């Protein structure tokens, strides 16, 4: 009568020991290693700081440019961009792997009903059929005594968070690439407009020269020079169409459309870059998805060290089975037909040819590599912010000087044109003055286009309003 209670106590004793040991977790606990962080951005000197609250970067950072066409295009990135779709699928895959790792916490139960029929003969009786029906339930559980499963879950959770950061990084990169291509296309529209206006001005100059030639006060050479300059500028205007078409195709690809089904109306670039809030360098570590992804991979690599170290410890497996077995289906679920069994087993590797040592060394090296990648991502982030801060600050100064150059060139052209009309200078002077005006206008436009793309790249370098707090918990 006391056999069942003694067996029950033994079973529960083994379970209690396993659960007590399950509190142990081998391997180093993760602590984010330090990275070099300057107190301030060097290129912030002379930077015009944005006003507070209403200019803070948000999720839809492109709205800071106040361009409805750009906003409409950016909205399509998260819906139709295929690189974003692929990154989102990779995140779902990584998130599923977290559940795969968690499943090791629980026992595995299998059910295997079987039926067999045989004939048995005895000296006293002929062969008679015997049926055997079995319904066993087998349960196997390996308690997480040394934290191998916990470290695996920790690693998978960190990898899933890194994948979520990668998704945001791909999204931000695609959005910034779209803004960059968009501003370049609008700059080409403005360039085309300047060239077309210049063509009209050159056509008038050609008419003036032809009239002077017919009046005998200009040479045939002046007419040929004026005509050559006109045709050359017309060719420049036509050539702009090549680059514009390619940029339009690139934008179509970014929003997930075939180029043949997409077009943008002509709209010249005529806006200035907005004021962009920068913040302090230390905040950058929380705002850039690529840095967050590198940090999470570092945490995952740290957890893998614990997984490798857990292999040095013995594994305990608890197995049990229970069910019904009978030769009479009518009595299948009768109490005498039941059976059950339970037993723990312990195994320890005594020789593996250095496998566990090599796996541990590999895990530690992978962690060291992840630390280096994280610190490199931080340095790269600082560099990108500094690069675009410098570009915006210097280009603003250059734009002011270039605007003065355009005004002076136009004044010079007006003076030389009047002198040519009066016959005091040769037409070559007019050509030189016209070329200088066109060159300075195109340079000024180029500077504006570079300022707009630098603004978009600065926002990307700052994380586009994203924050590490947006990562999933796991």
Whole-model pTM: value is 0.87
| Residues present in the chain in total | 474
What DSSP string runs through 247-285?
Answer: HHHHHHHHTT--GGG----------PPPP-----HHHHH
List residues bridging with 83 in a β-sheet. Answer: none
- Please report which helix (H) or strand (E) contains residue 446, including its range: helix 427-461
Domains and CATH numbers, the chain: 3-105+145-313+361-470 (1.20.1600.10), 107-143+323-347 (2.20.200.10)
Mean pLDDT to the nearest integer, 294-305: 96
Give the pLDDT of residue 423.
Answer: 87
- How far apart (Å, rounded) are the C-alpha atoms in residues 316 and 319? 10
Higher model confidence: residue 473 or residue 51? 473
pLDDT of residue 50 exceeding 70: no
Please say whether the beta carbons of 359 and 27 come within 8 A.
no
Radius of gyration of the chain (CA): 38
Mean pLDDT, rounded, for 262-289: 90
Produce one character per residue of 215-254: b if its CB has 16 or more CB atoms within 10 Å, e if not. Answer: eeebeeebbebbbebbeebbebbeebeeebeebbbbbbbb
What secondary structure letter does DSSP report for 130?
A: E
Query: How distant, in Å, are the alpha carbons of 15, 199, 243, 260, 280 from that of 238?
Result: 82, 11, 10, 20, 46
**153-191 residue pLDDT tens:** 999 999 999 999 999 999 999 999 999 999 999 999 999
Q: Tell how far CA 364 is from the center of its chain.
A: 26
Pairing of strands 315-326, 125-141: antiparallel
User: Among 245-254, 256-265, 278-287, 346-355, which is the least confidently predicted range?
Assistant: 278-287
Side-chain-side CA neighbours of 96 within 13 Å: the count stands at 6
Q: How confident is the model at residue 52 (pLDDT cuts 50, 70, 90)?
A: very low
What integer is the mean pLDDT of 112-133?
69
């Amino acid at each position: 009568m006391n056999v069942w209670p003694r067996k029950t106590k033994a079973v529960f004793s083994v379970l209690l020991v396993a659960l007590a040991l399950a509190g142990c977790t081998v391997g180093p606990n993760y602590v984010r290693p330090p990275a070099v962080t300057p107190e301030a951005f060097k290129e912030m000197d002379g930077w015009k700081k944005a006003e507070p609250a209403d200019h803070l970067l948000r999720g839809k950072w492109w709205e800071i440019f106040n361009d409805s066409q750009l906003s409409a295009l950016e909205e399509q990135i998260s819906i139709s961009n295929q690189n974003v779709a692929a990154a989102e699928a990779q995140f779902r895959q990584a998130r599923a792997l977290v559940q795969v790792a968690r499943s090791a916490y629980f026992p595995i139960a299998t059910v295997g009903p079987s039926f067999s029929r045989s004939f048995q003969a005895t000296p006293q009786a002929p062969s008679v059929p015997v049926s055997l029906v079995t319904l066993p339930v087998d349960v196997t559980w390996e308690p997480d005594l040394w934290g191998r499963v916990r470290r695996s879950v920790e690693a998978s959770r960190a990898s899933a968070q890194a994948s979520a950061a990668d998704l945001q990084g791909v999204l931000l990169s695609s959005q910034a690439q779209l803004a960059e291509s968009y501003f370049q296309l609008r700059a080409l529209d403005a360039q085309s407009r300047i060239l077309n206006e210049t063509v009209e001005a050159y056509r008038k100059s050609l008419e003036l020269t032809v009239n002077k030639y017919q009046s005998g006060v200009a040479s045939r050479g002046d007419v040929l020079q004026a005509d050559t300059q006109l045709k050359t500028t017309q060719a420049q205007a036509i050539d702009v169409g090549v680059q514009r078409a390619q940029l339009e195709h690139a934008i179509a690809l970014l929003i997930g459309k075939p180029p043949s089904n997409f077009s943008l109306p002509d709209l010249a670039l005529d806006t200035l870059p907005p004021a962009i809030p920068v913040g302090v360098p230390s905040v950058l570590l929380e705002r850039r998805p690529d840095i967050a992804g590198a940090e999470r991979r570092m945490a995952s690599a740290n957890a893998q060290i614990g997984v490798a170290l857990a292999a040095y410890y013995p594994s305990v497996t608890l197995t049990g089975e229970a069910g019904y077995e009978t030769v009479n289906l009518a009595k299948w679920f009768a109490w005498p037909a039941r059976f059950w069994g339970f037993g723990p087993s312990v195994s320890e590797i005594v020789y593996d040819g250095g496998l566990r040592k090599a796996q541990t060394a590999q895990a530690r090296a992978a962690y060291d590599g992840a630390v280096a990648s994280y610190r490199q991502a931080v340095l790269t982030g600082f560099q990108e912010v500094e690069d675009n801060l410098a570009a915006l600050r210097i280009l603003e100064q250059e734009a002011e000087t270039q605007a003065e150059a355009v005004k002076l060139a136009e004044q010079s052209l007006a003076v030389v044109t009047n002198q040519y009309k009066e016959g005091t200078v040769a037409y070559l002077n007019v050509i030189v003055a016209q070329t200088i005006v066109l060159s300075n206008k195109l340079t000024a436009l180029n500077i504006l286009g570079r300022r707009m793309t630098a603004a978009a790249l600065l926002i990307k370098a700052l994380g586009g309003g994203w924050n590490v707090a947006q990562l999933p918990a796991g």
